Amino acid sequence: MENTVVIKCGGSVLDELSPAFFASVKTMREQGMNVVIVHGGGPEIGKMLKQLNVRSEFVNGLRKTTKEVLAVVEMVLSGKVNKQLVTMFKQHGLSAVGISGVDGGLLEAEPIDGIKLGYVGRVTAVRVDLLQTLLAANYIPVISPLGVGRSGQTYNINADTAAGAIAAAIGANQLAFVTNVPGLLQDGTLIGEATAETVEQLLKDGVITGGMIPKVKAALSALSDALPKVMIVSGKTPFYEQGTWHGTTIRKEVGAYL
């Protein structure tokens, strides 16, 4: 779908989303753009697991998901975080519908590695028609990244990769990762624009660190001929005004844009 942007909101930024974030989304809608939101919820999940004394561990940056962990992930992502976000959109005059990737089989998934990761999945298919129906009715779909297997098993899906899969499936021409920093920084200075090749070098050189690494890797893997640029922006300040993105734009290659 042309003129469609997928926005991924990380769990760590949800409590810090400013009125400026919602104003940016409103500007997009007023300009006739379709907006799809995918959200995480890692910090809230971690807090609830601790409260319920459910043991959890990370393997290669992904939360190993046992049956007990999956129950908490579902409760927090689809029950608490999703509805909080929908309410925030409502408070800012935007019509949103909160759905899980399980609803209507929106995100079909399969396990990545059942032995090492348990019920952690990868997206194998997206029910594009379901999203098209919501967008045609002028709603903003707000998606919690859970998927469902062919047998009906629910899977926990990394929100960054879910956003990339959804953007590719619906033919979005823009994908933005909303974080709690202005974008990619080098020596404290914002990198306004970079090619995928440059960003890969920054990863190798250790300039990009910590929680920004999985976001950047997901951004790089989402790039394609159909989706030639991906943005990393802040949820604390306006990230889109009058057709201009504020943050870091990662482009697929230099040649096509000279």
User: Phi/psi at 146 (nearest 5 deg)?
Assistant: -115, 150
Closest CA to 229 of 245, 244, 250, 212: 250
The one catalytic residue in 8, 64, 217, 229 is 8
For residue 8, indicate whether it is catalytic.
yes
For residue 42, indicate whether it is catalytic.
yes
Closest CA to 183 of 232, 229, 218: 232
For residue 160, indicate whether it is catalytic.
yes
The one catalytic residue in 42, 98, 118, 147 is 42
Q: Which tokens is 19 given?
A: 């009125």
The one catalytic residue in 118, 147, 160, 247 is 160
The one catalytic residue in 147, 183, 215, 217 is 215
Beta strands in 102-219 (DSSP E): 107-111, 121-126, 140-144, 146-148, 154-156, 174-179, 185-186, 189-190, 193-195
The one catalytic residue in 11, 40, 118, 164 is 11
Instruction: Report, as residue numbers or ranges, the catalytic residues.
Output: 8, 11, 42, 160, 215
